[in-house]
Structure 1
Amino acid sequence: MTASSPPAGPPRLTRGPLRPIELATGAVLGGATVGLVTVGALVPFAAALQLVAAVPMGLLAHRHRLRAVATTTIAATLVTFVAAGIVPAVNLVGVAVVGGIIGIVKRRHGGLLAVLGLSALAGLVGACFSVGMLLLFSRSRQLLFDTIRNSARGLENLAARQAALEPLGRWVAEATDAILRWWWAWIGGGVIAGVIVSGVVSWYVLGSVLDRLAWLPGRDDLLDAPADDRPVAPLPVTLREVSFRYPGARADALQGIDLTVRVGEFVAVVGHNGSGKSTLTRILAGRPPTGGTVTRPGSAGLGVRGGTAMVLQRPESQTLGVLVADDVVWGLPTEIAAEVDIDGLLTEVGLAGMGDRETATLSGGQQQRLAVAAALARQPTLLLADEATSMIDPEGRRDLVALLADLPKRHAMAVVLVTHHEADAAAADRVVHLMGGRSVAQLPAWPRPVRDQRRRPMGEPVLELTGVRHTYNRGTPWEAPALHGVDLSVRRGEALLIVGGNGSGKSTLAWIMAGLTVPTDGACVLREFAGAKPVHKRIGAVQLAFQHSRLQLQRQSVGEEIEDWGGHGTAAVARALDAVGLDRALATRSIEELSGGQAKRVVLAAIVAGRPQVVVLDEPLAGLDPEGRAGVVELLARLRDSGLTLIVISHDVADMAAVCDRTVHLRDGRIVETAAPPHPAAPSHPAGPRVPDFTGGFR
């Protein structure tokens, strides 16, 4: 009944059937391999892509088991055969073999000798297969050999017309006869030699790539939990004096937590960034603590029917099916999936009649509802919603909280909602406040941003949209209109706020304004000193800060990321960090160590280093606690006053109105209202670090 486990060991590859994470990773990396091999085979001058195709398979073998690589290879080969034919399919098998060898050797910390041994073994298998197929299909083999002989004879006859070339022609014909006489040795030996040479070359090339990618997290720390062979029974769960410290950390992420969750309860856990909320969620999901005890009648059963299910902050990270109905039962055994009442679950979460819709067409709120439906398909006893409301609009947040609060009343289960927002906790039976890893009676109040006085006048129009329309999958049965005739003008130095519910077209508009998507109709024009050009022909002049900042950070350290965007040299990196209020010492910090607020500031620092004319920010406050939100609003006010043009797309009207000059309301792909923010003038924020004025200096 009582479990007090030691700290988990290093990540390990478990036994048994393929886990959902292996299936998902295999699907993504296998699809990338199919694309690279197919394009490399069918598009002229793109053959080099087939050399890159070994990287996804190598990464898969480096992170997951051999059976995941084998399953992915079989599926990818079949898809490639259907899409491009037999030759690209054979090429994909070769790519998968080489990538798999390098990935496995790297994972097991082997060396070149291991690569040579595995390559020789794979080459031998390939040679036996090739020779065996030619022996089995003897008529096809004879036809092929006759064609080769006839070609050699024709070359010999052509060479015989010139006395100087006659010996060469005769030699070609004799060599062809000798090779075809011993064809099995030449083909078998050629296959073995080819695989060995490819393995050696890939060891140095692909191996270096895998070494550079080794710092990327490839596993969730929940996988470090030791196996629990007890029957699945996650509730009631009781935590007594629970603490947790991550490997290598100097302080506990959680300390002295006492908590009991029972069937029928809706519990809210509220805290700011870094307070330990997600760590507590992982303890409840089965990760053993480093101190204290966790008591439950059986195993947590994460992902197992009747056990624990999780709904995460980013719904798209949990959406794996192409169709809504497929996603609900994705990963379930066939016999269990057949028993699930998909239509009933979709109706329960407010997605009635959407089973045949593509998941890519759902709004953020609908995707979160789909994630809840997929969780309910496992009939969980404990449902953990980790920041599930942070990325959706206020109306969608209220609806999702109401849905979660109602679940324990209709099912034998408990729901734990982790959130930044006190308002989300209003419907909870109990509220747990976390601060600094400890449970506290109440969180300190944090003031909302106040209206910031403009210190610099706006200029002439710099970005103009005229009659902009956009339709996804135009001309197909899956056609999905997103924008309908948007007319908008943005002035130089203006801070414009664009608001609207999930699915209103805000993100599509953001990508068009950044030049990353060309509108189906109409024009988006950037006005510069040299004239006006379509913004998609001036990539970089308008920068886009993604809603999920971590997706935009691709290098290992903060300094490398800023240099990648144009901040060349230590001084430029330091100035960019100053501009966004970050300590210069952060330049050497790993991207993986950044908090959500720090990641957003690093993206802005990188953008500042690239000196764009306009910055489009997609939901810059999403996922941040009140302190982080106020800090980002203050930062945007300073960037606006430096002369930078800001276009902010956000659900958070009350906070962002403090820095924006004008608000545009978007609904169903149309602008329905344009107005100045309704806030009266108030004292401006205190002066912050110097920021670039985008004319070549600092102010």
Structure 2
Amino acid sequence: MLQTGTPCLEIEGLVKDVGPIPSLDGRMKRVLAGVDLTARAGEITVLLGVNGAGKTTTLECAQGLQKRTDGVVRLLGQDPEKADAELRARVGIMLQEGGLPPSARPLALLRHVAGMYADPQPVDELAERLGIHEFASTTIRRLSGGQKQRVALAATLIGRPEVVFLDEPSAGLDPQSRELVVELIDELRREGLGIILTTHLLDDAERLADVVHILDRGRVITSGSVAEILEGREGAGTRLTLRTEPGLPLADAFAGRAGREAITVTEPSTGHYVIEGELTSADLAGIAQWLHAHGIMPQHLELGRANLQDVFLAIAAESAEESADSDLEPGRRGSRRSAA
């Protein structure tokens, strides 16, 4: 097992072209345009991005499942495109589409997979941990999407890998199963595994990630811990949200506030207000007094700071705006952003 903090995956200048594409007049399409990232043992590295950003292609190049056009990839110190059986035995891969044989039954499949390794995990113990015994007699084709995810995760872990790739591990899971998977991933980190995963569930990413890389149009546009990414975004201050009567002039509650330019009040949907900025306890007292003076009791009130989902949605919106501008001006090259 690698020492905690040791790089288990290093990617430098990864480029991937596909094609030729008819819509591009037969030219190649650049899916990855210079991805750089490092994942370390004992850490959870999360790749985020909208559909088509390049997350799955990055993982597949890192695993050696796709040949890269250019760049350097080192998986446990080796080129994954030239991986031998020894390297493959040290890596666990859970694909977005599990690739499970449809006629197999879960426990029989896991025992078959376990037989390929010199020191596999006990099948019954892992199956019990993931709740697989509940549907052990059902063929794979008849399992729900969440049940298939649990079997695929067990197959990924059965060989005691040192690094695991998890592509959407929580997809299709009910809340209880999702919690089991999240807890198991956290246990794997504590055991010293290097974990690289993608997910569209941003609260899972915020809860688990040691390092986040956000991809946009084939590039990593920001990297860091969740705290570093949030600190690096403008407007990531304190936020107060409340639901009550529509059309209220809540900005009046801050009319006498020194530095009131740092506070913004919006009503993004009917009766849903968002107050953002560097709020103080005096501001909270002020809004409470204003609501009391007008005889208003909010249906919902929540105080917090911007989270990873807020940052991700803002980056996605900026990317969409840049893409629209580029479509209007074909010669224009959009500027890149950095949030860290």
TM over 0.5: yes
State the alpha-carbon separation in 1 of the partners of residues 38 and 58 from structure 2. 13
Equivalent position amino acid for 2:196 in 1:
I
**After superposition, where does 1:379-390 map in structure 2 within 5 Å?**
none
Residues 1:470 and 2:16 aligned together = yes
User: What percentage of residue pairs aligned between the two structures are identical?
Assistant: 33
Give the counterpart of 1:574 among 121, 124, 148.
124
Deviation at 1:588, TM superposition (A): 4.1
Residues 1:557 and 2:105 aligned together = yes
Give the counterpart of 1:516 among 65, 72, 75.
65
Q: Which residue of the partner structure matches residue 158 of structure 2?
A: 609
- Go from structure 1 to structure 2 and tell me whether the alpha carbon gap of 1:636 and 1:479 turns closer, same or farther (over 3 Å shift): same
State the alpha-carbon separation in 1 of the partners of residues 67 and 39 from structure 2. 18
Q: Which residue of the partner structure matches residue 168 of structure 2?
A: 619
Would you say the 8 A contact 1:465–1:525 is kept in 2?
yes
Deviation at 1:603, TM superposition (A): 1.0
Q: Which residue of the partner structure matches residue 81 of structure 2?
A: 536
**After superposition, where does 1:428-443 map in structure 2 within 5 Å?**
none
**Residues 180-217 of structure 1: per-residue CA shift (max 9 Å, x gap):** xxxxxxxxxxxxxxxxxxxxxxxxxxxxxxxxxxxxxx
Deviation at 1:471, TM superposition (A): 0.5
Deviation at 1:568, TM superposition (A): 6.2
Give the counterpart of 1:675 among 178, 199, 224.
224
- Please give the secondary structure, in 2, of the residue aligned with 1:473: strand
Instruction: Identify which of structures 1 and 2 has the higher relative contact order when contacts are C-alpha pairs closer than 8 Å and 6+ apart.
Output: 2
Q: C-alpha root-mean-square deviation of aligned residues, in Å?
A: 3.0
**Residues 314-357 of structure 1: per-residue CA shift (max 9 Å, x gap):** xxxxxxxxxxxxxxxxxxxxxxxxxxxxxxxxxxxxxxxxxxxx
- Please give the secondary structure, in 2, of the residue aligned with 1:482: strand
State the alpha-carbon separation in 2 of the partners of residues 631 and 650 from structure 1. 16
Give the structure with higher Rg (CA). 1
- Please give the secondary structure, in 2, of the residue aligned with 1:525: strand
Would you say the 8 A contact 1:535–1:542 is kept in 2?
no
Give the counterpart of 1:636 among 175, 179, 185.
185
**After superposition, where does 1:235-246 map in structure 2 within 5 Å?**
none
Q: Which residue of the partner structure matches residue 343 of structure 1?
A: none
State the alpha-carbon separation in 1 of the partners of residues 42 and 20 from structure 2. 35
Kindly indicate which of the two structures has a greater share of residues assigned to strand: 2
- Go from structure 1 to structure 2 and tell me whether the alpha carbon gap of 1:583 and 1:506 turns closer, same or farther (over 3 Å shift): closer
**After superposition, where does 1:2-151 map in structure 2 within 5 Å?**
none
Deviation at 1:573, TM superposition (A): 2.1
- Please give the secondary structure, in 1, of the residue aligned with 2:141: helix
Equivalent position amino acid for 2:112 in 1:
D
**Residues 228-279 of structure 1: per-residue CA shift (max 9 Å, x gap):** xxxxxxxxxxxxxxxxxxxxxxxxxxxxxxxxxxxxxxxxxxxxxxxxxxxx
**Count of paired positions:** 219
Residues 1:599 and 2:148 aligned together = yes
Deviation at 1:669, TM superposition (A): 0.4
Deviation at 1:583, TM superposition (A): 4.9
- Please give the secondary structure, in 1, of the residue aligned with 2:78: strand
Q: Which residue of the partner structure matches residue 483 of structure 1?
A: 32
TM-score (norm 2): 0.57
Equivalent position amino acid for 2:5 in 1:
G
State the alpha-carbon separation in 1 of the partners of residues 136 and 82 from structure 2. 32
TM-score (norm 1): 0.29
Residues 1:647 and 2:203 aligned together = no
**After superposition, where does 1:453-464 map in structure 2 within 5 Å?**
458-464=4-10
Equivalent position amino acid for 1:557 in 2:
R
